[in-house]
Amino acid sequence: MKFILSFIFCFTVVIAQNPVPQIDSVTGLPVTLDEIIVTGEKGSENPGFGKKVDLLDEFGGIWNSLEEVVNGNFSVFVKDYGGAASAKLLSYRGLSSENSLVLFNGARMNDLRYGGFDLSAFSMSDIKSAEFSSSYSASGDISTDGVLSLESRGKRENGLKFTQKFDNTGLSSSTLNGSLKTGNLQVSVAGERMWSANRFDYEFEGKINERENAHYNKSFASVSAIYTFKDFVADIYSNYSFFASGVPGFVVTNNISSSRASNTTTGSLSVLRLTGPLFTNSGFELVTSYNHQLYKFEDPNVNYYKYLDYDDSKLNTYSVNLKAFASFGDLKFNSGYGFEMGELNDIKTALSNNRKETSLSRNFHRLSAGFKYSPEFLLTAIADFAITGGINVDIFSQTGIGSNDESRTSYSTGMLVSPKFYTPLSIKAHFYKTTRIPSFNEYYYSSVFSASDLKPERSTGFEAGIVIDDLKIVKGEVSLVYFRIETEDKIIWVPSMIALQVPRNIAKTISSGVEFSVLISLFSDVVRLTSNYVYLDAENISPFGTTDKSNGKQLLYSPEHRINSAITFKTGGLAITLGNRISSESYFTFDNDPLSTIHGNSVFDFKTEYHFNFFNVGQLASLSIYNLFNENYRIIQSYPMPLRTFIFSYTLSI
């Protein structure tokens, strides 16, 4: 295997720190975040199984990417398309990224064009906390493949921060962000510029090739402001992004010559949020958002279109969501209404020459309600008991491709019991039914060969398990969860007569398995051990033709076993972490052809940090080494993962 070494240098300057007001998710009342911690959700606070990560925590202070946060803390599989600028998509319990709901400051971030969310879409400087809930979040959102909630509110450094990165493949990245707090107002800005010719050697079919056509450049800028009134908190966030890359993508092993074609995406996102109390023990959250995306495809060699050397299309999405929370004795209640309007214009692809419709427009009305009832019991054996429930109703209307008018309902119900003989133990069970409306992209390609009546996916799920938030003997947390999800009208992309894959409702799938996670702290937090294990049996159970060999076979890119573990040693200002990610084999064909296997892998990462003061100035130096033993592995067909990568950073706090 050819040795490839990648080195990234980071220099960071930071000035001072200040806490920022937060909003309690139940009462809506402003509170102050005084410290940053990593915790699970104790007892019945979260209806499902969830965990919250507050970034820049005191135990290992810097996260380099959102993908790293998700991989290291949640039982979620990240589909990595290779390299720093590639797509990073969620996959939970064997389902596709379209089934995972992603919220940013309370606004839905799932791309209506593709249905999923790219974890690399945001700058890490904008994300202060991440929370993942298995299927039903505390805010009342129900999603088969989990809910990832991202927040820009959080602990901010009052001053400027500059970061410079570069590596031996030609990557160069410059990041500048800063924050200023005066009185009740805090304003923060961030900007990043990244570019690379992205030429490096890779191995494909036993030969060493040089990738030539995956050049990219990226710009990102954002501004946010938070103002704290006597009882209310208002915040506004807005960003601008520009991304240009070669075609067919960031990393493709079997394309060694450049077509000179390129994709360019220019976009902006704005989110305005107001939170506060309504009356005693109640609160509300109002979120409005506007998302604009301009997609441009340039093809100077006219390889893709017969008579055009460029193409562009626009996506505009507007949404408003209002949620209310109230507590009446033993009953906590939440309700909400949301409206979302999206439009995609001027769609042109290789199919467009034979189409009449080139646009889509879609409206959603969303109604939600949920409760948690925790009565006081006279039974001496029960320390805590709760019943939870929720319902989401989507009233959906679409014109253009896939014209449709209908309503869909998702609901959830669960129960929690905590015995008095061991109060750290919580026993949870949770049942839910959900639907997923197809994305614009799925509707567009489903209309090939007059099959435009694509149906929403329908899933029924059950999960049950235990959570122990205090081990008594040692400091730590343990959770063990069993799950089973059955999906009907599963959308699968299948080959057509013109060698183009098109989506069809032709599959019924079952995903079942076990999730086990443990966190143990020893010697007053000097040593910390964390591990997440996932066993997944995800199969297609409905053959879609007489010659189909997929029945009973493992779903695409769904490893049966995954383990993410880390051990951290901390003494004084020094912290050392060794992480390991293990994945068993998976397949990229529905019939699980042994010649179409993504081999299992075991990847190690190393990180060390040292905090110290020099002339009363706080400083932090850190070194991260990803893929420590230089393993040549893959997660997605034809997309190799980066080999050994070094990242060094230095932080100065004044």
Q: pTM (2 decimals)?
A: 0.84
Tell me which of 358 and 229 has the higher pLDDT.
Answer: 229
Tell me which of 197 and 228 has the higher pLDDT.
Answer: 228
Tell me which of 447 and 557 has the higher pLDDT.
Answer: 557
Strands 6-9 and 645-653: parallel
Residue 133 has pLDDT above 70, yes or no: yes
d(CA 276, CA 618): 36
**What is the pLDDT confidence band of residue 56, given thresholds at 50, 70 and 90?**
low
Give per-residue pLDDT as tens, 520-542. Answer: 999 888 999 999 999 999 888 87
Q: How high does pLDDT run on average in the chain?
A: 79
Q: Which helix (H) or strand (E) holds 539?
A: strand 527-540
Residue 181 has pLDDT above 70, yes or no: yes
Burial grade of 3 (CB within 10 A; 0-12, 13-18, 19 or more): exposed
d(CA 534, CA 559): 9
Q: Are 606 and 567 in contact (CB under 8 A)?
A: no
Report CA Rg, the chain: 25
d(CA 427, CA 535): 20
Q: Are 535 and 566 in contact (CB under 8 A)?
A: no
Q: What are phi and psi of 383, to 5 degrees?
A: -90, -30
Is the preceding omega at residue 248 within 30 degrees of 0, hence cis? yes
Give per-residue pLDDT as tens, 378-395. Answer: 667 888 888 999 999 999
| Closest of 108, 200, 125 to residue 162, by C-alpha | 125
d(CA 28, CA 283): 4
Predicted pLDDT at 73: 85
Neighbours of 38 (CB within 10 A): 19
Tell me which of 491 and 161 has the higher pLDDT.
Answer: 491
Residue 38 has pLDDT above 70, yes or no: no
Give per-residue pLDDT as tens, 607-636. Answer: 998 888 877 777 778 888 888 998 888 888
d(CA 70, CA 65): 9
Q: Give the amino acid at 592.
A: N
Residue 254 has pLDDT above 60, yes or no: no
